[in-house]
Amino acid sequence: MEYSKEEIIEILGVHLEQEHNLPPLASRIYAILILTDQDGLTFEDCLEKRGASKSSTSTSLNLLMNMGVITYFTKPGDRRRYFKTAKKKTFFLSKLQESLNRIETEKHIITLVMGYHKKYSPKKYEEGQVRTQIYLDYVNENEKILKKSIDKLESILKE
């Protein structure tokens, strides 16, 4: 099945909205910027393609810029800003780093709880040790994979 550009924008937009907690308009604008074949899109282009209000479009563009996933440039003799996806900080890199932070926090909390149980509730510690270690093994493997993926992405973004 072949999808039109508009259908792909909607599919990607819904995904960004649901899985990455982006507001609906920001996710659609980001999807448009990902799929455009132009060097960049102006504010007016974004406004026209989504049919949203000026303030909502501006808020969405500012959110995406603050996240570091889009940037803008200007052209000589043209006062308009042209928006495009950022090269140095991709959405994928941001999401990998967020996932790594969550895993590191969870690993720290699990270790704290197990340390507490070991000291103050040895029976509880013994009962949960095998299950907890299986989960920690999973967390540690994911942490390694995330770090490796982040390193790879950062190295190609430096080029």
- Contact indicator for 125, 117 with CB cutoff of 8 Å: yes
pLDDT digits (tens, 9 = 90+) for 97-130: 999 999 999 999 999 999 999 999 999 999 999 9
How confident is the model at residue 28, as a pLDDT? 96
Higher pLDDT, 90 or 23: 23
Among 116, 110, 101, CA closest to 150: 101
φ, ψ dihedrals at 2, nearest 5°:
-105, 135
Q: Give mean pLDDT, residues 134-142.
A: 96
Q: What is the pLDDT of residue 90?
A: 76
Gap between the Cα atoms of 120 and 158, Å rounded: 49
Q: Which two tokens stand for residue 3?
A: 């999808």
Please work out, in degrees rounded to the nearest 5, the angle formed at the alpha carbon of residue 141 by the alpha carbons of 131 and 130: 15
> What confidence score (pLDDT) does residue 42 get?
95
Average pLDDT of 28-46? Answer: 94
Q: With 90 as the cut, is the pLDDT of residue 158 above it?
A: no
pLDDT digit string (tens) for 40-81? 999 999 998 888 999 999 999 999 999 888 999 999 999 999
Q: Residue 28's CB: how many other CB atoms inside 10 A? A: 23
Contact predicate 97/150, CB 8 Å: yes
DSSP string, 97-158: HHHHHHHHHHHHHHHHHHHHHHHH-HHHHHHHHHHHHHHHHHHHHHHHHHHHHHHHHHHHH-
pLDDT (0 to 100) of residue 148: 98
Residue 20, phi then psi, degrees to nearest 5: -125, 10
Note the pLDDT of residue 119.
Answer: 96
Residue 159 predicted with pLDDT over 80: no
Residue with tokens 């969870």: 106
Q: Is the pLDDT of residue 89 over 70?
A: no
For the whole model, what pTM was predicted?
Answer: 0.74
C-alpha dihedral (135, 140, 145, 149), degrees to nearest 10: 120
pLDDT at residue number 20: 83
